[in-house]
Chains A and B, each alone.
Chain A
Amino acid sequence: MTSNLLTLLVLAPVVGAIVVALVPRGNESAQKITALAVTSAIFLMSLLLVRDFQPTAAMQFVENHPWIPAYGISWKLGIDGLSLWLVILTTLLTPLCLLGSWDSIHERVKEFNVFMLLLEAGMLGVFCALDLFLFYIFWEAMLIPMYFLIGIWGHERRIYAAVKFFLYTMAGSVLMLVAFLVLYREAGVGSFEIAQLLTAPVSPSLQMWLFGAFALAFAIKVPMWPFHTWLPDAHVEAPTAGSVILAGVLLKMGGYGFLRLAIPLFPVAAVKFAPWIGLLAVIGIVYGALVSLVQPDMKKLVAYSSVSHLGFCMLGISALTTTGVVGSVYQMLNHGISTGALFFMVGMLYDRRHTRAIAEFGGIKNVMPWFAALFLVVCLSSIAVPGFNGFVGEFLILIGSWPANRTYVAIASLGVILAAAYILWMVQRVLYGEVTNPKNEALKDLSPRELAVLLPLVALSLWMGVASPSFTRTIEPSVAALLEQVRRGNGGSVLAETPAPAVTVARQ
């Protein structure tokens, strides 16, 4: 059974989607329950991965079935330390999204559940695929359910946002597809399997072009400044579940793509491009933070804060040190949890008041004490207060990037301060003070269902803040192997050395 666990995980949502599609149209609660049951079962199944995962660099749970033998394409799945927790994040967030949208989606419930399930299949596929062709299939196929989620259940400008999201992402990825084909031709191993392509390095001059094409696709997905313009639209217009999945999982695919494909396949180009990626990351950190400061709309604020947070992830990756990259992977998880929770909570306010304008609120802690408490915790995690998960990630990234470029670290630290400013300012204006707006007087506090959505995320952000070694322990070997690959590809030590091993830092 465990030998086919990943295939089972990837295909179970598809089967679930078919089942939901077959439930009669009138029976909406049956559709919701089926979808929730399927995704919850998938989450429980994915915990088996955690149980059996060995903290080594090797690919685990590997399955390999020939698919299109004429082109050397296979259904090859497997996970390592880079993807393990992203898989878990995906399987966790999907049922929470369904639960969170239980009462806020009234229209076309069946389609909503079908698209959520298909989306989950796509996301899991991206993180598990070990074949370029397979990776691309999932990467692109995922666009369609997301496009529908934004376009059908979104807010006022949903059609614009949906189309922009689709075209932007597709434009980036099609060039990557051409790069796949060139790589396939040049490597000459007659296979699209990543492991095989790694053994046949291409010439350094070609690496530049191919890395560029890959980097563009991933930079749009992350999104890195200046390719981020689709993100505020998509985030703001999407329904809550869409925003959570977008922020929580989809954005992670950009960073993951760099780590899984772009950097190991083109090590020479990666080292050459790294400072520039770092530069864009730092610009993104500061730019995202500054724009967040002036947002009057909570959802927009959280959206731009994602640009800033993802900048940290990219900064850590661009440093190409073990500590930095481990921090980045960790920060991706943190961002998924804390920003996911923030989007949920903004959505809960929106469900009650049908507005997201900060100015409409004030003194919410008086009427919704539970909400206020959890909101504060999530915000503290988002601004990386020690004791919360965000701190571990950002700290690892900053010290990991120090040997690579001190200026970047100095400027990025500014982003940490700015993050505290815009988040706490929002907290102050929304939660504290007197209830000035009479519409806010009768707001109901969180329902048990809403608590059930938020508590796992809050608990995780605390747990990951204090027990980080149990996570970094599994991430680190894969990161070390990745950097070793880069070093070998460059024919020796060109990378900055890490001052202290990541694990010891994380334990402090």
Chain B
Amino acid sequence: MNAVDLRPAYPAIIVAVTAVVVLLLQAFAGKGKHGPYVPFSLAGLAAAFLATVMIASSQERGLGSHTGGALVADELALFLEAVILGVALLAVLLSSSYLRATNSERGEHYALLLFSVVGMLGLVAVTEMISLFVALEIMSVALYALCGSRRDQVESQESAVKYFITGAFSSAFLLFGIAMLYGVSGSTSLGRIGSAVTSASDPNHGLVLLGVGLLLVGFGFKIACVPFHMWAPDVYEGAPTTVTAFMAAGVKVAAFGALLRVFGTGLASLADDWRPLVAILAVFSMVLGNLAALAQSSVKRMLAYSSVSHAGYLLAALVAAPRVSAEAVIFYLVGYAAVNLGTFGALSSLARDGREPVTFDHLSGLSRRHPVLAAAFTVFLISLMGVPVSAGFVGKFYLFTAAVGAGYTPLAIVGVLMSVVSAYYYLRVVVHMYMKDAPVEDAWAPVSTTSALALAVSVLVVLGLGIWPAGVLALAHAAAQSLL
């Protein structure tokens, strides 16, 4: 008799248990009191991280054949799980002082965050479509609630509703796509789908393409690429800033992880069919995302549109799938996660008495009052621009190397030119921080130790990947290999 091997699910299980414990802490803390949510959440995430590392260092690979084929613990899954757990650790650190400053500290905030992590961990490890759907929903439902967690703010409510409606909408597309592929292959397992849809002469080929297209739409919503990006600015702006940070970093990693696996293994044989589609999405995202970001007066909206454009850069590399592009995408995701945590985290760390910097003007003169924070913010922006020495530069370099290597040079040209456009609006932040004087009365909060720690880690990751990318690149390479 085969015992079910739950090891691939250990990290997710640990996080889920932690979430339940945090919820219970809330219940036992008594009215108006705060329990030790942060240390418990951190401990749970750290334990999960440790579990991931231990699974990775144990010699067995391809774990998960005994979990009904739903989850694997290959290099890709483990690496992205570690990244997601890192993101969650930093997000918890950032949250603690932000929630206090905005008077919205509650246990369920951390519990929801942890539940959403469970979904993300699943998303990067699934090899089966129904599990993929379930993981996606676990992640998303928790995030909908998180977005609306500032009950005193109508923008927060709006963001939750918008995210929920578009999210539900995109789930329907995804589900419909899964159904099509099931109809053709008779299975929801990626491996079976892969072997069933290989031949283009198949009479069901049209059905397969429809399924692939619908899947792409579903993923398109999650990664916020044009034309499925409409929700992003409102949601990013309205959600509590630390939630935005967590979302912008975590969801991108998880969704692209799943995208890589689905399109890189199950649908790899159809690459010639979906490649042009991805290229079109990439161009539109790069161009429209950047142009729209130019016109924003809110920093959070600007960053939201910039995240649309970055989805475009990532998609541009995907056309080179499956070989080089996967490692380029994985590498980029690590740096990009750190940068997103950093930018939104820097904004959130300034919150005081329920107010936080929103417009460019709010950041005027920041370099005088918060020289170190301004310097860190600048590092993140440089990385977003893709200027060395930063993770963003090396990441873009790999992405465009992949695109050019696959013969999609025009995509790379659009990408780099749009990076120049993006430099304009990223520099606007720098201009305000360094070259304009602060309004007299504005004094943002001093950065708390926990936020400072999270930001410092982000800066180190961004600079570290810019200076010494070889180590992470090797891990990304191994992760990409596991797709083949």
Contact = CB atoms under 8 A, between A and B. Distances in A.
B405 A185 contact: yes
B387 A170 contact: yes
Interface stretch (A66-74, A392-400, A488-496): A66-74
A147 B429 CA distance: 13
Interface string B462-484: 00000001100110010000000
23 contacts: A70-B473, A71-B398, A140-B388, A141-B389, A147-B427, A151-B434, A151-B435, A159-B431, A163-B424, A166-B423, A166-B427, A167-B424, A167-B427, A174-B419, A175-B417, A177-B397, A177-B416, A178-B404, A181-B400, A181-B404, A181-B405, A182-B404, A182-B409
A152 B470 contact: no
B178 interface: no
A25 B393 CA distance: 31
B210 interface: no
A171 B417 CA distance: 7
A184 B388 contact: no
A143 interface: yes
Contact of A152 (B387, B404, B434, B469): B434
Interface of A: 25, 67-71, 133, 136-138, 140-141, 143-144, 147-148, 151-152, 158-159, 162-163, 166-167, 170-171, 174-175, 177-178, 181-182, 184-185
Contacts of B477: 70
Contacts of A162: 431, 435
A69 B401 CA distance: 15
Contacts of B419: 170, 174
A170 B420 contact: yes
A177 B398 CA distance: 12
Given A141-B387, A158-B435, A71 B416 contact: no
Closest 4 CB pairs of A and B: A174-B416, A181-B404, A137-B388, A141-B388
Nearest to A133: B397
B382 interface: yes
Contact of B413 (A175, A184, A185): A175
B247 interface: no
A185 B320 CA distance: 13
B412 A181 contact: yes
B420 A171 contact: yes
Which of A163, A170, A174 neighbours the largest number of chain B CB atoms within 10 Å of its CB? Answer: A174
Nearest to B379: A144
Interface in B409-440: 409, 412-413, 416-417, 419-420, 423-424, 427, 430-431, 434-435
A163 B426 CA distance: 11
Given A68-B473, A69-B470, A138-B388, 15 more contacts: A70-B473, A70-B474, A136-B388, A141-B387, A141-B389, A159-B431, A163-B424, A167-B420, A167-B427, A170-B423, A171-B420, A174-B417, A175-B416, A175-B417, A185-B404
A137 B388 CA distance: 6
A170 B387 CA distance: 9
Nearest to B378: A144
Nearest to B427: A163
Contacts of B389: 137, 141
A198 to B, nearest CB: 20
Contacts of B388: 136-138, 140-141
A138 to B, nearest CB: 8
Interface of B: 371, 382, 387-389, 393, 397-398, 400-401, 404-405, 409, 412-413, 416-417, 419-420, 423-424, 427, 430-431, 434-435, 469-470, 473-474, 477
Nearest to B394: A68
Contacts of B473: 68, 70
Contacts of A184: 401, 404
A147 B387 CA distance: 13
A159 B387 contact: no
Contacts of B387: 140-141, 143-144, 170
Contacts of B397: 133, 177
B469 to A, nearest CB: 6
Which of B388, B416, B473 neighbours the largest number of chain A CB atoms within 10 Å of its CB? Answer: B388
Contacts of B435: 151-152, 158-159, 162
A71 B328 CA distance: 12
A174 B474 contact: no
Contacts of B431: 151, 159, 162-163
A361 to B, nearest CB: 30
A178 B434 contact: no
B105 to A, nearest CB: 34
A174 B420 contact: yes
B325 to A, nearest CB: 14
Which of A138, A158, A170 neighbours the largest number of chain B CB atoms within 10 Å of its CB? Answer: A170
A162 B431 CA distance: 9
Contacts of B393: 137, 140
A166 to B, nearest CB: 6
B218 to A, nearest CB: 32
A175 B417 CA distance: 8
Contacts of A152: 434-435
A122 to B, nearest CB: 10
A145 B62 CA distance: 48
A178 B413 contact: yes
Contacts of A177: 397, 400, 416
A177 to B, nearest CB: 6
Contacts of A143: 387
Which of B387, B417, B430 neighbours the largest number of chain A CB atoms within 10 Å of its CB? Answer: B387
A162 B430 CA distance: 11
A67 B412 contact: no
B413 to A, nearest CB: 6
A70 B327 CA distance: 11
Nearest to B414: A178
A184 B417 CA distance: 20
A133 B398 CA distance: 12
A68 B470 contact: yes
A167 B400 contact: no
A167 B431 CA distance: 14
A440 to B, nearest CB: 32
A155 B393 CA distance: 31
B282 to A, nearest CB: 15
A70 B470 contact: yes
Nearest to A176: B416
Nearest to B387: A140
A305 to B, nearest CB: 28
Contacts of B470: 67-70
Nearest to A67: B470
A188 to B, nearest CB: 11
A178 B400 contact: yes
